[in-house]
Each structure stands twice: as structure tokens, then as C-alpha cells.
Amino acid sequence: MGELRDKVKGHADTMLGEVKRGIGKATNNPELEAKGAAQKVKGQAGKTKGAMKGALNKL
């Protein structure tokens, strides 16, 4: 069940990061844009972690 939680949290972080990045870009706020980009990367890593857990559980 942990893999599903990781995937959902990863997806949420990816989406929120993209929104923050877009707002930072639109408002010319490089700090918010960078934080959004970092959160997006964190989310992508979380989704990958969840996928790996799921694959390992199938072994």
C-alpha cells in the first residue's frame, strides 16, 4: 500500500511544483520559480519510488 501513497504524493508534488513554477515565472519571482522546479523534481522522484515499490512487491 505504500507504493500507492508514494505515487499519489509524488503526483501532487509534481502538479504543485509546476503551478508554483508557472506563478513564479508569470510574476517574475525567480525564488518561487526555483522552489516550484525543485518540488516538481521531488514529485517525480516520489512517483518513481512508488513505481519501484510496486515492482518489487510483484517479485
pLDDT tens string 6-46: 999 999 999 999 999 999 999 999 999 999 999 999 999 99
Residues 35-59, buried b or exposed e (16+ Cβ, 10 A)?
Answer: ebbebbeebeebbebbeebeeeeee
pLDDT at 34: 97
pLDDT at 1: 67
Residue 4: burial class (beta carbons within 10 Å; 0-12, 13-18, 19+):
exposed
pLDDT at 11: 94
- Give me the residue spans of the domains in the chain: 2-58
pLDDT at 57: 85
pTM of the predicted model as reported, rounded to 2 decimal places: 0.85
